[in-house]
Amino acid sequence: MVLSADAFRLDGKFAVVTGAAKGLGEAIALAYANYGADLAICDRDEENMERVAKEVRAMGRTCVTSVLDVRDTAAVDAWVNSLPDIDILVNNAGGTFYAWFMDVNDKGQRSVIDENFTSVTNFVRSCVPKMPRGGSIINITSVEAYKASPGFGVYGAMKAAVEHLSRTLALELSGKKIRVNTIAPDGMHTPGDANLLVGDHDYGATLALGWGEPDDAAGSAIFLASSASAYLTGTTLQTNGGSDAARGWKKTPEGNWIP
């Protein structure tokens, strides 16, 4: 049997995307709409979120919005309970700041934990009871989950925690045929990352394919949400232009790789 092009379509599906006002979340939400899904999106950035919703509706899809703090368990539960059945959940919301671990105070640490890990557990617990058999959960992690991340220690630890939790959930939710996978992006031009790179080094030298764009992550998200990936669960798509493969190697202007 030949795989149908329709296997990548999301017609009739309802997707929840967190942190969808800008960057990867925006790209994923718009791609889902373009492939036929209806959407519920949330963010604290109301202006940009409503701009994204307007674009989704212009494609002929429905889009429910909420100005929401994904760290607030009660608020997440209330919003999710107001939604119809959920076929796809994308936990994209997250964030961090640059500071060496010993300079991070308790408040800063709690903020990074809640924004990157607690937000995921909030939405998984709320959405799974509303997911039919064959649903898909996609958690956006980071290449930092797989290598040391000086200046982003708590963030990297939380992304690793999400990756580990996703593998466990892939087994625990398999009875409902709910698939759980992660995307580990890096090297993409997004507003959230614009001020995070420090120093005068060329980070692009660690990217075999050069700098990417949010649509590169959206392509992976389409695949993981669709029936084309029906036999894929508990795994990670390293959508990072080779950053994970490099693990410290850098490409010279001549195209050679050096440690």
User: Considering the domain boundaries, does residue 24 fall inside one?
Assistant: yes
Q: What is the pTM of this model?
A: 0.95
Instruction: With a cut of 60, say whether residue 20 has pLDDT above it.
Output: yes
Is 207 inside any structural domain? yes
Q: Which tokens hold the place of 128? A: 């799974």
* Tens digits of residue pLDDT in 32-72: 999 999 999 999 999 999 999 999 999 999 999 999 999 99
The verdict on residue 1 lying in a domain is no
Number of domains in the chain: 1
From 32, 35, 146, 155, the catalytic residue: 155
Which CATH number fits the domain that encloses residue 188?
Answer: 3.40.50.720
Catalytic residue status for 231:
no
pLDDT tens digits for range 130-164: 999 999 999 999 999 999 989 999 999 999 999 99
- CA 116, CA 26: separation in Å to the nearest integer? 18
User: Can you give the residue range of the structural domain that contains 45?
Assistant: 10-258
User: Cβ distance 83 to 16 under 8 Å?
Assistant: yes
CA 105 – CA 72 distance, rounded (Å): 21
Please report which helix (H) or strand (E) contains residue 62, including its range: none
68 part of a folded domain:
yes
Question: What pLDDT is recorded for position 194?
Answer: 61
Minimum mean pLDDT range among 19-28, 111-120, 169-178, 246-255: 246-255
Q: What is the mean pLDDT of residues 180-203?
A: 76
- Output the six-digit token pair for 11: 């017609």
3-state secondary structure 83-137: CCCCCEEEECCCCCCCCCHHHCCHHHHHHHHHHHHHHHHHHHHHHHHHCCCCCEE
Q: Kindly state whether residue 28 falls inside one of the protein's structural domains.
A: yes
The answer to whether residue 112 sits within a structural domain is yes
Q: Is 3 a domain residue?
A: no
